[in-house]
């Protein structure tokens, strides 16, 4: 099943959904500690980046600086779609002054925004979707 490529349709049907919990970005040297279930992993030269619940990071004694809310855009976006990430990041930056870390999954895009402003970010994205109709 291929994803949506049309930017207007992507924006119109993105249906941002705030996942429960607090999420952090951390890194480990070497293999991932046993028992962790990150929602994102990224292998970098400097180490393995993990995005996981704050509770898991605290229990494992992992350090972090950034606590985020996790928003999933429920539209099935094609991996080669053009403009969705830019439109979402621009909306959050210009209208909300919000940082946004984007991760693309096979089916959906996932946004990590400052935890204390996550509900505001969802509201801004809902407004963007309504304006695109």
CATH number for the domain that contains residue 112: 3.30.2130.10
Determine phi and psi for 22, rounding to 5 degrees: -115, 135
Does 86 fall in a domain?
yes
CA-wise closest residue to 75 among 130, 16, 124, 14: 14
Q: How does the average pLDDT of the chain come out, rounded?
A: 95
Q: Which pTM was predicted? A: 0.94
Determine phi and psi for 67, rounding to 5 degrees: -110, 125
Predicted local distance difference test score (pLDDT) of residue 121: 98
Does 80 fall in a domain?
yes
Does 2 fall in a domain?
no
HSE, side-chain direction, 13 A CA sphere, residue 10: 22
Total number of domains constituting the chain:
1
Domain that residue 36 falls in: 7-132
Does 82 fall in a domain?
yes
Region 76-96 average pLDDT: 95
Does 122 fall in a domain?
yes
| Sequence-separated (6 or more) residues with CB below 8 Å from residue 95 | 124, 127
Length of the chain (residues): 133
């Amino acid at each position: 099943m291929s994803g949506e490529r049309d930017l207007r349709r992507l924006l119109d049907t993105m249906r941002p959904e705030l996942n429960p919990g607090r999420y952090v970005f951390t890194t480990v040297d070497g293999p991932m500690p046993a028992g962790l279930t990150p929602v994102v992993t990224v292998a970098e030269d400097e180490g393995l980046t993990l995005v996981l619940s704050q509770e898991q990071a605290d229990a494992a004694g992992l350090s972090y600086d950034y606590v985020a809310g996790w928003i999933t855009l429920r539209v099935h976006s094609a991996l080669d779609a053009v403009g969705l990430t830019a439109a979402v990041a621009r909306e959050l930056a210009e209208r909300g002054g919000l940082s946004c870390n984007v991760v693309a999954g096979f089916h959906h895009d996932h946004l990590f925004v400052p935890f204390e402003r996550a509900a505001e970010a969802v509201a801004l994205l809902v407004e963007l979707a309504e304006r695109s109709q």
